[in-house]
Amino acid sequence: MEQLRAFAAVIDAGTFEAAAVRLHVTPSAVSQRIKALEIQVGTVVVRRSQPAAPTSAGLVLLRLARQVDLLAAEAEAELSGHGVGGQGRRAAVTVVVNADSLATWFPAVFAELARDDGLELEVLREDETVSSELLRDGRVMAAVTTDGRPVRGSTTQVLGTVRYAAMAAPGFARRWFAADPVQGLAVAPMVNFDRSDQLQSSLIREVTGRRANPPTHHVPDSTQFVTAVAAGLGWGMIPEVQDPADGTLELLDPAWTRGVRLYWQRWKLDSPALARVSDAVLGAARTSGILAATERGDDDRQTG
């Protein structure tokens, strides 16, 4: 168990020295545990790079290491007589969430979990493609994703649908879309969240019937993305809930809207801590008023 804990700590911290600080041992002790683990499995599991990274064999062990550590923490809490949420070692749960969810409905999860003193929550912000990969590799235990296909060893539940609309600043809309909206869509500057964001490009292909290469800006922050569009940097697909409704944004065409269906994927693991996080996420999705009924949704790609 200590070998697996050391392995996960090295991957999380990035170096043997930082892992030693986390585990309250010496770097030499961490190195010895990793070497013992590699001898036991018969291959190298840590790539000694900057930062340290798991080898292909290490990825197989990473998921096991996190599961063992989570269950061990919960067991220690129970055996200490304090129970989960007491004074024992805290159960650490790592999840990955896309940026638009973090900026809108997901913060309700924090309020729900704030009363749980026995839990340590780590939230990673990545787009939906990376989220599935992180879940598959064992780097996270659960994910908000647009991929409804369960990762091996995980379960999937529908959260709801976020509605996106093509919007722009009024002056920008008059300049680029007043004469010929379809042609404007093909040539007007657009704002993408990052280079993985295909929501704007997919709308262009659907509406114009061709691939276009307009000037493209990248603003990898949900709030600043809306600010950039409102400032006239380009048009973009804005979550309806983030429309400031103060006249700074204008709907380009009522038909240029898309639904992005969100799913919650989590490990199939009998863990009270992971179950509490899942309950909080599902509860936030149900009560937020941001996620629409799934029947309205399409399986388009989510930005962020």
| More reliable by pLDDT, 252 or 292 | 252
Identify whether 51 is part of a domain.
yes
Q: Which two tokens stand for residue 178?
A: 């007043």
pLDDT value at position 146?
86
Task: For residues 253 and 302, give the distance between their C-alpha atoms in angstroms, rounded to a whole number.
Answer: 20
pLDDT value at position 80?
67
Confidence class for position 128, pLDDT limits 50, 70, 90: low
Task: For residues 254 and 207, give the distance between their C-alpha atoms in angstroms, rounded to a whole number.
Answer: 13
Domain end marker among 73, 104, 124:
73
Q: Which residues contact 24 (CB under 8 A, 6 or more apart)?
A: none
Q: What percent of the chain has pLDDT over 70?
A: 91
Confidence class for position 82, pLDDT limits 50, 70, 90: low
pLDDT value at position 173?
98
Residue range(s) defining the domain that contains residue 214: 162-259
Domain end marker among 53, 73, 93:
73
Identify whether 254 is part of a domain.
yes
pLDDT in tens, 58-71: 887 887 888 777 77
Structural domain tally of the chain? 2
Q: Which of 138, 6, 142 is nearest to 59 (CA)?
A: 138
pLDDT mean over 192-218: 94
pLDDT in tens, 241-269: 899 989 999 999 999 999 989 999 998 88
Identify whether 130 is part of a domain.
no
Domain end marker among 19, 43, 73:
73
Identify whether 139 is part of a domain.
no
Identify whether 182 is part of a domain.
yes
299: pLDDT strictly greater than 80: no
pLDDT value at position 212?
92
pLDDT value at position 183?
95
Q: Transcribe the chain into DSSP letters.
A: -HHHHHHHHHHHHSSHHHHHHHHTS-HHHHHHHHHHHHHHHTS--EE-SSS-EE-HHHHHHHHHHHHHHHHHHHHHHHHTTS-TTSSSPPEEEEEEE-HHHHHTTTHHHHHHHTT-TTEEEEEEE--HHHHHHHHHHTS-SEEEES--SPPTTEEEEEEEEEEEEEEE-HHHHHHHHSS-HHHHHHHS-EEESSTT--HHHHHHHHHHSS-----EEE--SHHHHHHHHHTTS-BEEEEGGG---SSS-EES-TT-EEEEEEEEEEE----HHHHHHHHHHHHHHHHSS-SBPGGG-BBPPPP-
Identify whether 249 is part of a domain.
yes
Q: What percent of the chain has pLDDT over 90?
A: 55
pLDDT in tens, 153-169: 889 999 999 999 999 99
pLDDT value at position 127?
78
Q: Looking at 88-92, 122-126, 175-179, which range is the least confident one? A: 88-92
| CATH code for position 26 | 1.10.10.10
Task: For residues 11 and 128, give the distance between their C-alpha atoms in angstroms, rounded to a whole number.
Answer: 22
Average pLDDT, the chain: 87
| CATH code for position 177 | 3.40.190.10
pLDDT value at position 88?
56
Identify whether 301 is part of a domain.
no
Confidence class for position 295, pLDDT limits 50, 70, 90: very low
Q: Which of 4, 133, 2 is nearest to 58 (CA)?
A: 4
Identify whether 23 is part of a domain.
yes
Whole-model pTM? 0.74
51: pLDDT strictly greater than 70: yes
Q: Transcribe 117-156 into DSSP letters.
A: TTEEEEEEE--HHHHHHHHHHTS-SEEEES--SPPTTEEE
